[in-house]
Structure 1
Amino acid sequence: MKNFFTILGGMGTIATESLARQLNHRIKITKDQDYLNYVLVNDAQIPDRTAYIKDHSQPNFFLNLREDVLQQAQLKPDFFIMPCNTAHYFYDDLAALTDVPFLHMMRIAVHRFVQDYPDETKIGLIATEGSIYDHLYVDELAKVGRKAELGGPEIQPLVTELIYDNIKQKGVVDAELYHRILRKMHDEYGCEVILLGCTELSLAQEKAPGHPYNIIDPQSIIADVAIELELKIRAGMAPTEAVKKYLY
């Protein structure tokens, strides 16, 4: 197979499924051959990212991802994407394993925020405890002169309930809970834009988009970027040339 990219997924599986739907339904098609070529690695056995980040005695998820990257690199994809925000904790280590370009989903999302909302100096951030604990998005936002608003102590338990108790454990999106979190971030903490720092939250946005709030959705953004890049590569542009605008 030529002109393809690799998705490092399975963190979790239905969030990865959501990304595949976006890739398949956003491409303009008139025939089967118009769809994108990609390899979807749904490694559902990757240990919990937040558990390891908060407690290094827990299983290290880098080992699984390292194996996946090295296996896929032998196929020579045009680029890698990884639809798990928290797994970007090991982005530098994973990208160093291969010469294949590895797109940084979190960094791309932060730059899209600056591009789309140049006058906003802060953004509401809801994410896994692991991402919050290790300042993954906070640090990326600081690099571009923006601040993350995390809300009060009541926010994280609600977000964790939505991600783990609902989506990961039951495979369902509690739309009322999702909208309540967004409303609180907007009304009580003054967030005109809210960043969905977990792909389960991206799934919540896909399934329950009926709200009035401005959203930065990294998974949706990386889907659009992958489509843009692969169409350019399919048209004859060299992969390294195509991806360089997104290698921040």
Structure 2
Amino acid sequence: MEAKSLGIIGGMGPKATSVFFDMIIEQTAAERDQEHIDIVILNHATLPDRTSVILSNEGGRFLESVAKDLKLLEAAGVANIAIPCNTSHYFYTDMQQLTNINIINMVDETLKVIYETYGEHCKVGILATNGTVSSGVYRKGCAQYNMQLHEPSDEIQEHVMDIIYNKVKRNLPVKPFEFEGIINQMLDHEQCQCVIIACTELSCIPIQAAVAKNCVDAMAVLVQKSIELSGKQSVVK
């Protein structure tokens, strides 16, 4: 397949963007510099907070800002665009209408992986920001695949938001067992067959393989699709 360049709209947040870029480098089958993907990264950290604009019905502010990034990536001549932020995908259709460049739909690609693995009628937990959960992007997607989305209780959701905004975004350490405990709660007590890690900040937290095997990390899915669409092979099978 012909090699194609990739554009990344990042900064949501910067740490997650850094981890996303590292994952692409680590998972691209390459033995020299020239075999890696040509990538243009826009670390647009001052983009309006996605959860805030969704909950306050001010999405226009976000779209106005991200439109400038799309124009820059058009000028750079990238073939595909990856946006490592689940919450921003609430605006996916609007963003895609702003450019002729394909924007990889992280939400839909993630749900495809879950459907192919667990099939119809599976119960899927989600760990994400208030904006992602309340927007319904994963809820609607699950319904299209005839899968059941289980959203966290208010107590768990508050805990998840604390980890995202008061720890990861502030570059403070998160004890993996704290996050793993939330995942296990969804799996063991809520009887979910798998859990979507649907926030790229949460993707930055290392978890044990025994826990990860029952999770589908949306950022990891986006990494794989970005490599594939860029005409490269992945070292992850």
Taking structure 1 as the reference length, the TM-score comes to 0.87
User: What code does the residue aligned with 2:223 have?
Assistant: A
> Quick one: structure 1 residues 35 and 210, their matched pair in 2 at CA, closer, same or farther if it must change by over 3 Å?
same
Partner of 1:13: 14
Q: Kindly state the Cα deviation for residue 153 of structure 1 after the two structures are TM-superposed.
A: 2.3
> Quick one: structure 1 residues 57 and 82, their matched pair in 2 at CA, closer, same or farther if it must change by over 3 Å?
closer
User: What code does the residue aligned with 1:186 have?
Assistant: L
Equivalent pair of 1:158/1:177 in contact (CA under 8 Å): no
Q: Kindly state the Cα deviation for residue 173 of structure 1 after the two structures are TM-superposed.
A: 2.9
User: What code does the residue aligned with 2:132 have?
Assistant: S
Q: Deviations over 1:117-155 (max 9, x none)?
A: 125522011110001111111111111111111132221
For 2:69 and 2:210, the matched residues in 1 are separated by 37
For 1:186 and 1:26, the matched residues in 2 are separated by 28
Taking structure 2 as the reference length, the TM-score comes to 0.91
Partner of 2:187: 186
Partner of 1:52: 53
> Quick one: structure 1 residues 98 and 151, their matched pair in 2 at CA, closer, same or farther if it must change by over 3 Å?
closer
Q: How does 1:52-71 map to 2 (within 5 A)?
A: 52-56=53-57, 60-71=61-72
Q: Deviations over 1:187-237 (max 9, x none)?
A: 110012000111111112xx233543511111101111111221259xxxx
Equivalent pair of 2:37/2:232 in contact (CA under 8 Å): no
Partner of 1:218: 218
User: What code does the residue aligned with 1:223 have?
Assistant: V
Q: Deviations over 1:82-121 (max 9, x none)?
A: 1100001111111011111111110110011001112552
Equivalent pair of 1:162/1:174 in contact (CA under 8 Å): no
Q: Does 1:208 align with 2:207?
A: yes
Gaps of 5+ in 2: none
User: What code does the residue aligned with 1:114 have?
Assistant: Y
> Quick one: structure 1 residues 139 and 119, their matched pair in 2 at CA, closer, same or farther if it must change by over 3 Å?
closer
For 2:143 and 2:47, the matched residues in 1 are separated by 29
Q: How does 1:76-91 map to 2 (within 5 A)?
A: 76-91=77-92
Count of aligned pairs between the two proteins: 230
User: What code does the residue aligned with 1:99 have?
Assistant: N
Equivalent pair of 1:23/1:223 in contact (CA under 8 Å): yes
Quick check: 35-44 or 164-173, which moved more?
164-173
For 2:171 and 2:104, the matched residues in 1 are separated by 30
Partner of 1:243: none
Partner of 2:127: 126
For 2:26 and 2:122, the matched residues in 1 are separated by 33
Gaps of 5+ in 1: 234-248
